[in-house]
Structure 1
Amino acid sequence: MDVKTFRNRQKNIAIDGIVDDSLQIAYTDVGEGQPLLLLHGIPTWSYLFHEIIDPLAEQYRVIAPDLIGYGYSDRRDQFDRSIAFQADVIERFLAALDIDSAHFVAHDIGGGVAMIIADRNPQLVRSMVLSNSVAYDSWPIDEMLTLGHPRNANMSTEDIEELFDKSLKSGLSRKERLTDEFRQGLMSPYLEKDGIVSLVRNAASLNTNHTTPLTSRLDQMSQPTLLLWGEDDGWQPISTAESLVKDMPNVKMHPIKNSSHWVPQDASEEFTAATLEFLSTAG
């Protein structure tokens, strides 16, 4: 799906009670059935899931928000962007949609958000699919630490294109999946000045202290969990998934060969099939 079509079906909702002003969240909401929440990571936005949303929506109500500060959600300098704050916003977001329980499919820092919510609000998380997720002290990676320097708020669109092109070469194993449509769609919100500034703020907010406290409580996260992991990922390596298998009580691992970090694009068909198979037994 091209980015224009994707954007045209996004909705917007105002979330109150977190900061002084309402926070605007852009999101996709399609399909019927049990709610299935898709959470992206950095430096992406919900367009990361553009090829898997419709197949999943044949069986579920699929909701894919842009995290605060990302994509086309609120990008102002008026709020925190940490994964702890993102978890606060997602809880309010689901409440605003009258959803009291959902399956979570979460990638990268979105996985950290999902685990925070699963720990503190377990009834809200029916199950989790964690894909190449942050956990423990596996993050932030060096590239994001560098991006978060305040001077990078003055980057040009050419700088952003160079950053994404370098990341795409590492983040996808299957080079045929690096299409012009995906490339343009992924970087689209960050080719605008406020998008560049917001992306830098997002990178500056990454804090491993928001996942390390979960380590001692992983054995209490009883939600059915699937670790859907690209084997070639050099940023969030499969060794992280192997550790989670040992530490979580109700977890399965599904490694994906010839796939790197951005698995929903790299291996969209296998990602979708494995997710649907898992959810069919997750309750």
Structure 2
Amino acid sequence: MQDWWENTFPKGRQMLTITDANEASVQIAYGEKGTGKPLILVHGIASWSYSWRHTIAPLAEHFRVFCIDAKGHGFSDKPLSPDKIGHQIIELQRIIEALCDEPVTIIAQSLGALISLALVQQKPELCDRLVLINVPIFLNTLPTWWMQFLAYLPLELVQFVDRSRLLKKTAPLARGITGYFRREVVADPALINPTDVYWITYPYIEMEGAIAKYAEDIQLSIKVIQGISSDPTNFIRTVRENLANTHTPCLILWGDRDRWFPSSHGEQLHQCLPNSQFKLLKNCGHDASGSCSEQVNLALLDFLL
């Protein structure tokens, strides 16, 4: 199968070196396409740049598009050292500062949207327009049983399974299971196809460390969720409390059939953000960019142009 990076970006996959939140040097994978004002695409958890496969080309007609793999995801480094809550905010800031010398437009989905919103609150000068898609900001638990299971599984066990390359040895089964569970994030199961499943699962099947870092992110997430009401410095709580003071122009997109986070959360976020617009995506699940790209792209271009 042809390399997705080479088929999508003029220079294929490029690598950027940054210092992560642990002050270690890591390599970040990214693709670049188009010219003009810089625009950053930020994926969610258990995802990578491929999630923006239908959005890159339309945006690149008007912008200089950067599509990044967060640390621990996709083709970026997956260091063994444990991460701290909020490490993604620091690392996204350093990626943007390394790639761009002017304020950027950020388009982000799911956990990537929450991270981007937190960064814009902390460093508003980095971003002059923000698009948030299906943001986990008002959740009170992890959205699926298998995430909750992984949240309490001993990380050492997950790391052992990862090192054993069990998924690579059982790749057809892993892809089949992934295809089945994608029904949770798309409104129409007919949109699930073997090519997408192959590339969505590729880093987790082929690259050591991907499964372990995903489990680690899930376990950090449950700690954050459990501390919302009790910890005044809690990451999500802080983002919520700062919404009224967040003035960056913002478009909120939400799938009306998002099974993970209901569209009422998007409406609530819109009411809390003073300079925001809200658009409901019809017959669209959680993976909006991957399964409802026509609606997403039209909404993006209408907001940005």
Per the TM superposition, whether the score is higher than 0.5 is yes
Distance 1:179 1:17 in 2: 35
Gaps of at least 5 residues in structure 1 are none
Residues 107-135 of structure 1: CA deviation (Å, up to 9, x unaligned): 01001111111111011121111111111
Taking only aligned residues, the RMSD between alpha carbons, in angstroms, comes to 2.0
Distance 1:145 1:47 in 2: 25
Alpha carbons of structure 1 residues 79 and 101: separation in structure 2 relative to 1, 3 Å: farther
Q: State which structure, 1 or 2, has the greater radius of gyration over its C-alpha atoms.
A: 2
User: Given residue 88 of structure 2, which amino acid in structure 1 is its aligned partner?
Assistant: Q
SS in 2 for 1:14: strand
Residues 34-82 of structure 1: CA deviation (Å, up to 9, x unaligned): 1111111111111100111011100011111111111111111125164
1:152 equivalent in structure 2: 158
Distance 2:23 2:117 in 1: 27
Contact (CA 8 Å) 1:128, 1:226: kept in 2 or not?
A: yes
Distance 1:73 1:262 in 2: 21
SS in 2 for 1:205: helix
Gaps of at least 5 residues in structure 2 are 226-233
1:171 equivalent in structure 2: 185
Segment of structure 1 superposing worse, 114-123 or 95-104: 95-104
Alpha carbons of structure 1 residues 163 and 69: separation in structure 2 relative to 1, 3 Å: farther
2:46 equivalent in structure 1: 43
Contact (CA 8 Å) 2:22, 2:83: kept in 1 or not?
A: no
1:239 equivalent in structure 2: 264
Residues 176-213 of structure 1: CA deviation (Å, up to 9, x unaligned): 32121111111100013422222222222223332121
Q: How does 1:18-29 map to 2 (within 5 A)?
A: 18-29=21-32
Q: How does 1:1-283 map to 2 (within 5 A)?
A: 4-6=3-5, 9-16=12-19, 18-80=21-83, 82=85, 84-142=86-144, 143-148=146-151, 149=153, 150=155, 151-153=157-159, 154=161, 156-157=166-167, 158=170, 160-161=174-175, 163-192=177-206, 193-206=208-221, 207-208=224-225, 209-280=234-305
SS in 2 for 1:249: coil
Distance 1:181 1:162 in 2: 12
Identity of matched residues, %: 26
Runs of 4+, deviation exceeding 6 Å: none
Contact (CA 8 Å) 2:20, 2:90: kept in 1 or not?
A: no
TM-score by length of 2: 0.85
